[in-house]
Structure 1
Amino acid sequence: MVSLATIRASNVLLSTHLPSSPTILFIGATSGISLSILQHISQYADAPHIYSVARPPSAPAHQALLSILQEQHPTSTYTLIEADPTLLSSIPKITSTLTTHESKLDMLIFSAGHLSFEGRANTAEGLDPGMALGYYSRLLTLHSLLPLLNKSPNPRVLSVLAGGMEAPLNESDLDLREPENWSVMAAAFQGATMGTLSLEHLAQQNPELSIVHWAPGVVDTPSLARARKFGVPAAAAEAMSAEEAGERGLFYVTSERYSVNDGIVPIEDGVEKATKSAGGIFLVGADGESKDSEAVLAPMRERGVPTKVWEFTLGIFEETLKLGGD
């Protein structure tokens, strides 16, 4: 396990190692893990350009928080993008904001998610909201912002979901549209596994891009409170604080330990480089160690499933954005 002391020692070095004026996009930072990462980056970064997405109901409170951070760090820039990432038709607004105002993107951090404990209630675009947030909107955003990421000297992506917890896919119904194929957990594992396969696909096409798919475990966030309300067994476990999770997330997105090339912060003596999956990304568990999902992923790669998943995903993008008028 990577100790919290090691993580904190690395994060402190950001103040001297992180290049000035990094550009960072958060999707899911209105609460929980990503909010904590945002606050820690604000503490250490030199004049960052931070963009944060909030849905309309959360936007006023999030803007108030960003305004406080702006007062505390006057050389920084904080931009709220009001959009609902559950809807793929909202993603072009997010990505165009970045491409209009920035020449590069250094970090892209996702943590927005949803578990449909009440049953599947599709979005206005016909998608399961959990898969929309945990998979489709993340991959559409990443795919759209690859040109900006590739202009960064050290581009990093952190997807907070379920790295290392991949499971066999329902390959005949990737979107789980048939009622008998859908359940809360089936959708969660389907989206997480499709996420890993598609992240690997993009990593292979963009070899300078460092991608971490992290499963943080049980963390004290509003999502945990909701899971406990519905009696989810795993939610009864002892929870990591959002503060610690934020420090860990910052470490995973900045340390050389999880970088395909040189990291932003060099790893300490005695700390080994994390092992990538055979597909080229870092699958990281709650303890910060690499997870091995090759027993599940390797047979799918051999059968060409990643290509099938990505082509299906591109079809969903095209169909949904066309329906949305974009």
Structure 2
Amino acid sequence: MPTLAEAKSSNESYTPNYVPVAIFAGGTSGIGQAMAEAFARYTRGRAHIILIGRNADSAGRVISGFPIPEQEDGWRHEFIACDATRMREIRATCAALRARLSHINFLVLSAGFNSFATSKETSEGLDYHLALRYYSRYVYINELLPLLVKAHERGQQTHAMTIMGAGLGVPISTDDIGLDKARAQTIKPLKGVMLSFAAMKGMGYSPGYNDALVAYFACRNPGIAFTHVHPGFVKTSGLHTDAGWLLSPISWLYELVMEICAEYMLQALLDAKRGLFLRSPTANIISTHVFDAPVDFDLGCSTAHKTVRFLA
């Protein structure tokens, strides 16, 4: 397990001879923001950094704090507005990126929704928890994979990371992958007030979904690194939304400072070369596997059909 000093030292050693392209989907607040700021600091601003989110004002404040390189050699800092609850909007955003970018080195996915009491559907009929905590992340990786492959073909470091809860997955019912049945059992007058069975399932299922997500892409793309990392309980607004009245009074006992968490998350991002990685809040490797050749899956099985209908 690396110490904080070791994580910082590792991050400081990142000195690529090219201008890296890094996308932070969810980078306008929370852990994503802190990671983007740390990445900009360690690269001294010499990177093409793209923040994706809904809050343009927040993005502007974040970007204004990035270091400005003295030389004009391809660096750029920008924001793209996109609602991560809408898969169609994500696809359109990714299509626009594919049209103008030659490659992507780093893709970091951190947008989320945390609530034990609120369970609802998006405008596209998806479970709100899963839309942000899983579906959007699948779509981002799947749609931007060609640009990640291009970076790998250039001989450059390539890594896709999803920040959720590596190793915290619970048994999943394949009869209710999208939580339609769980939401139907929610008592509407108590929605948002009492603990919701569907909301708890959305919170509990999504870590396992993300474990499967990185395993799926890693085994099909053995030259690229795919990581699911557990950030721990980080001191962000999302923590207290997640914990609510149940945990907020004692959360100060265990929550991490956002900037410290970002050092470990960035160390995990910059350290891996290729393969599948599940990592702890301090970037410790929980599980890893390097695939020697692409693995094909039977996507004609019933579980695959149930999943694909949510992503069509």
TM-score above 0.5: yes
Alignment of 1:140-219 (within 5 A): 140-152=139-151, 153-179=156-182, 180=185, 182-219=197-234
Inter-CA distance 293–160: structure 2 relative to 1 (3 Å threshold) = same
Amino acid at match of 1:96: A
Residue identity over aligned pairs, in percent, reads 24
Inter-CA distance 283–122: structure 2 relative to 1 (3 Å threshold) = same
1:61 is the counterpart of 2:58: yes
The Cα of 1:70 is off from its aligned counterpart by 6.3
The Cα of 1:98 is off from its aligned counterpart by 1.8
- Equivalent position to 2:273, from 259, 269, 272: 259
Contact 2:233 2:255 in 1 (8 A): yes
Deviations 1:226-252 (A, max 9, x none): 234332478464211101111111100
Could you say which residue in structure 2 is the equivalent of 1:134? Answer: 133
CA distance in structure 2 between the aligned counterparts of 1:293 and 1:236, rounded to whole angstroms: 32
The alignment covers a number of residue pairs equal to: 285
CA distance in structure 2 between the aligned counterparts of 1:92 and 1:73, rounded to whole angstroms: 35
**C-alpha RMSD of matched pairs (Å):** 2.7
The Cα of 1:97 is off from its aligned counterpart by 2.9
CA distance in structure 1 between the aligned counterparts of 2:253 and 2:200, rounded to whole angstroms: 18
Deviations 1:50-99 (A, max 9, x none): 111121xx212312331342657775311211110111111123212321
1:282 is the counterpart of 2:277: yes
Amino acid at match of 2:11: N
Deviations 1:139-192 (A, max 9, x none): 011001111101113210111101111221111110111134943331122222
Inter-CA distance 315–103: structure 2 relative to 1 (3 Å threshold) = same
Q: Which moved more, 1:164-173 or 1:228-237?
A: 228-237
Q: Which runs of 5+ in 2 are unaligned?
A: 187-196, 290-297
CA distance in structure 2 between the aligned counterparts of 1:41 and 1:307, rounded to whole angstroms: 41
The Cα of 1:12 is off from its aligned counterpart by 0.8
Task: State the SS of the aligned residue for 2:306.
Answer: helix
Alignment of 1:310-321 (within 5 A): 310-318=304-312
CA distance in structure 2 between the aligned counterparts of 1:30 and 1:18, rounded to whole angstroms: 25
Alignment of 1:1-326 (within 5 A): 1-14=1-14, 17-45=15-43, 47-55=46-54, 58-69=55-66, 71=68, 75=72, 76-152=75-151, 153-179=156-182, 180=185, 182-232=197-247, 235=251, 237-255=253-271, 258-260=272-274, 281-291=276-286, 309-318=303-312
Task: State the SS of the aligned residue for 2:77.
Answer: strand
CA distance in structure 2 between the aligned counterparts of 1:136 and 1:83, rounded to whole angstroms: 14
Inter-CA distance 247–293: structure 2 relative to 1 (3 Å threshold) = closer
Inter-CA distance 175–248: structure 2 relative to 1 (3 Å threshold) = same
Contact 2:117 2:200 in 1 (8 A): no
Task: State the SS of the aligned residue for 1:281.
Answer: strand
Deviations 1:95-131 (A, max 9, x none): 1232122111100001111023332121111112111
